[in-house]
Chains A and B, each alone.
Chain A
C-alpha cells in the first residue's frame, strides 16, 4: 500500500499538472480536464469500520459501492446517498462533494466528513479532523476539502460519519403544479414529519418518508397522496440518485440551480426537475448561462453547468473578488506549484 503512496508523492514532486482520478465517474463534472491522470484506484480498501462508533475510514480509491455494501450489512449508510455514477471512488465522492436525494433531511456529504488525510503540493501527508464525531481542534480543513474538486491536494484517506438506516419508509405521489408542490414541500418541512426526499417533475410530486415505523405510518395518514408500491418506489429513488431517468437522458446541457427552498417557480426555458424540498432544481436546455446565473443570484442561489453544454462561460458561478482572493491564497498554500486539477474549479487556478 505504501508503494502507491510513494508513487503518488513522486508524481506530485515532479510539479507537473495532474488530473486526480478514481473511478472516473465524474470526468464530465467541472472545468475542462488538464494534466496527466493520477489514478487513485490502486490505493483502495476500508481501513476501519466500527458500527457502534458510527464511523468508517477508507482509502481514496475504495469504490463507494464497496463502502455501501459494508455499511448495509450492518444496516447503516452514508446518509446523504452521494451518486455512484457507475464506479465512483470515495476520494472522488468527497472531492466532488455531491449529495443525493435525501440531502435536505440528512445534511450534505460535507456534513458527514469527519477527517481527511491529504497529500499537499509539497508531497506532505497531512491529517485533518479525525475519527470522532465531535472535534474542533484546528481549522476544519477536512470539510474544506469536501467539494474542492481535488484542487487543494490528493485525498489519501477519508473518515465519514455513518447513520443507521431508517427502519421504515414509504413513497407517496401527488398530482400538483409546481407552485403548489413548492408551497406544500416548504410547509411540510416546517413540521416534525419524517420527510426523506422529494422530487417534482411534470406536475407530479413524489415524496419519500423514512423513519420509525409509527412515524412513517402517521405521516402517511396525515399527508394522503397515492402510495407507490415498493419495487417501483426503490427503483424511482435509485434512478433519481444516479440520474438514469428519462429527464436526464440525451445530450442537452444539464444545469443545476441551488436555491433557497422557498424560491417561487422560476421562468426557465426548458424541462425542470425539483429535488431537496425546492432547494435543488435541474434544468435541461441550451439556455443563456449568464442570464440563468443572474436569475439564480437574484433568488439568493447559484447555477452550475452540471453536465454537457459549452464550458467556456465557466462551469461554476463566479465569486466576488474578495472571495476569489481568499480562494487564491488557500490554493497557493496547499498547492504552490499548481499541480492539482488546474482549472477544474475555476479558470483562475
Chain B
C-alpha cells in the first residue's frame, strides 16, 4: 500500500479535497502533458536510486519553462504543499524520494545546453542536462566538465549540484562545489535570484557553497554555469593487486607522501572485484585481496614519469602484480570495471544498499576489518569500493528484500558502518548526500545545536520548510528518540 493511500485513509475528507484543489490549480498552471496525477503515472516517481524507500506523491509536475516552474512553486507555497525537486532520479540516498501529500517537481525537460564558451571555459546549462552531455558538447573545444560520478551517463547537473557530486577524479579536479560558478535559483516563494558569477568571487556571503550540496532544500536550480577544464594530452592507469588491504592502503599513502596527486586513485576489495570482472571482463586479478587503480594525466613525458614513480611505490608496498594501460581503450576498460561496480554488484544480489562514509585514510584497515565482522554478525555479504585518494568508502551491503527482516537487517548494518565512519573522525556521507537514508545518523555526527543551525540556514531560504522537508537534517527531538532506542552510541 502506498504512503499516499495510507495517509489518505487516515483523514480522507481533508486530504482528498486538498489534493483535488491543488490539482485544479496546477492544471491551470501547466499544460495537460506536464501534470501527472494517476497512480500509474506516479508510480515511476515513487523512489529514486534508493529503492528501499518508496512513497507516492500527490502529483508530479513536469514543467517546460521557467514560468511554469515558478507557477508550480507559487501554487504550492500558497497552499503550503511540500515540493520535492527531481532530476534523473539516480540519487542513492533518497534525496528525491517523494513526500506524502507533496508534489514532485521534475526538471527532466530542462535539458538544453544554453552556451559553451570556449574562451571563458564555461558552459551555461539547464538543470536537466546530463553530466556527460556537458563533456560531450565541450569535447570539440578540447574541454570537459571534470566531476564524473559513476552515474554520469544518466545523472543531471541539477542533481549533481543538489548532492555536491564527486567521482573518481575529484582528488585532483575537485567536487561539484569547485566546478560550478553561478546558479540561477528559484526560492520556494517563487522569487528568483542569481548566486555567483562568471568572475572568480562575489561580494557577500558565499551562498554558492550553501546551495551546492543542499539536497534540494534551499532552492530550485533553474540554470547553472559550470567550469570547463582543458582535456589533458594523455592519461594512463596502473592497476596493482595486493594480498591485503593494509598493503594497498600503505601504497596509497606512499604515493601521496611522494608528492603525487594522481588523477584517479581507486581501490576495490575481493568481492567487488569478482562481481565487476564477471560483468565487464577487464582482466582484474581475482585472487587479490584488493586491487588499486592509479591514474596519471598530462603530457606524455610527465605521465610516463609519474606512472614509473607510482609503479615503484606500489611494488615497494607489496603489489604482487602490476599492469599499465597500453592504449586508451585499455585505460577505459580498467575504469569501466570500477565505474560499473554498483550495477555489477546489483547483478549478484537481488538488492543492495550502497553506503558512502568518508574516513581518514589511515583508518582504512581498521574500518574494513570491522565491516567484515559486522558482515558476519548481520549475516549479509558486503563488497567494498573505495575512492582511496580522498577516503570515500562505498560498502555495498547485499540483501534480498523478499526475505522477511532482511531489509531491516541491511539498514541496521549500514547504520553501524556510518557510525563507525564518524567514530574514526570521518563523515556519514562523502558524496551521495544524507537524503532520507542517513537522516538519523546525522544525530550521531552533529549536536543538537549544530542541527538547529542547519535548520536556521534552511529557514533563511525557505522559511515555511516546504522544499524537500524531512530530508538531510533531522528534527533534534527525533534525535533524542533515536539515541534513546540505542541505535546510536
Chain B residues with Cβ under 8 A from A167's Cβ? 259
Which among A172-180, A234-242, A246-254, A298-306 touches the partner chain? A298-306
CB-CB under 8 A for A333 and B457, given A138-B434, A140-B212, A260-B120 = yes
- The answer to whether A138 touches B472 (Cβ under 8 A) is yes
Which residue of B163, B206, B214, B230 contacts A147 across the interface (Cβ within 8 Å)? Answer: B206
- Render B163-195 as a binary contact track against A, CB cut-off 8 A, 1 for contact: 110100011001101100000000100010101
With the chains together, A192 CA to B143 CA distance in Å? 9
- Render A179-214 as a binary contact track against B, CB cut-off 8 A, 1 for contact: 000000011011111000000000000000001111
Is A163 at the interface (CB under 8 A from chain B)? yes
With the chains together, A323 CA to B184 CA distance in Å? 12
Interface residues on B, range: 35 or more
- The answer to whether B204 touches A52 (Cβ under 8 A) is no
Q: Which of B253-309 contact A (CB under 8 A)?
A: 253, 256-257, 259-261, 298-299, 301-302, 304-306
Nearest A residue to B201 via CB reads: A258
With the chains together, A330 CA to B206 CA distance in Å? 11
Which residue of A51, A146, A276, A326 contacts B460 across the interface (Cβ within 8 Å)? Answer: A326
Is B453 at the interface (CB under 8 A from chain A)? yes
The CB with the most chain A CB atoms within 10 A, among B118, B209, B431, B459, is that of B209
Is A279 at the interface (CB under 8 A from chain B)? yes
- Render A294-335 as a binary contact track against B, CB cut-off 8 A, 1 for contact: 000000111010000000000011111011001101100110
With the chains together, A262 CA to B199 CA distance in Å? 9
With the chains together, A108 CA to B196 CA distance in Å? 14
Is B210 at the interface (CB under 8 A from chain A)? yes
Chain A residues with Cβ under 8 A from B11's Cβ? none
Chain B residues with Cβ under 8 A from A189's Cβ? 121, 230
Q: Which of B210-241 contact A (CB under 8 A)?
A: 210, 212-214, 218, 230-233
Shortest beta-carbon distance, B418 to chain A, in Å? 10
- The answer to whether B200 touches A302 (Cβ under 8 A) is no
Shortest beta-carbon distance, B198 to chain A, in Å? 4
Is A43 at the interface (CB under 8 A from chain B)? no
- The answer to whether A111 touches B457 (Cβ under 8 A) is no
Shortest beta-carbon distance, A54 to chain B, in Å? 6
Which residue of B209, B233, B257 contacts A144 across the interface (Cβ within 8 Å)? Answer: B209
- The answer to whether B143 touches A212 (Cβ under 8 A) is no
CB-CB under 8 A for A137 and B442, given A131-B360, A146-B206, A333-B460 = yes
Which among B52-60, B384-392, B398-406 touches the partner chain? B384-392
Shortest beta-carbon distance, A226 to chain B, in Å? 23
The interface of chain A, by Cβ under 8 A from chain B, is 50-55, 75-76, 97, 99, 103-104, 107-108, 110-111, 120, 124, 126-128, 130-141, 143-144, 146-148, 152, 163-165, 167, 186-187, 189-193, 211-215, 218, 258-262, 276, 279-280, 300-302, 304, 316-320, 322-323, 326-327, 329-330, 333-334, 345-346
Pairs across A and B, CB under 8 Å, 13 listed:
A99-B201, A131-B360, A133-B358, A134-B166, A138-B472, A139-B454, A144-B209, A189-B121, A212-B298, A213-B302, A214-B301, A333-B457, A345-B204
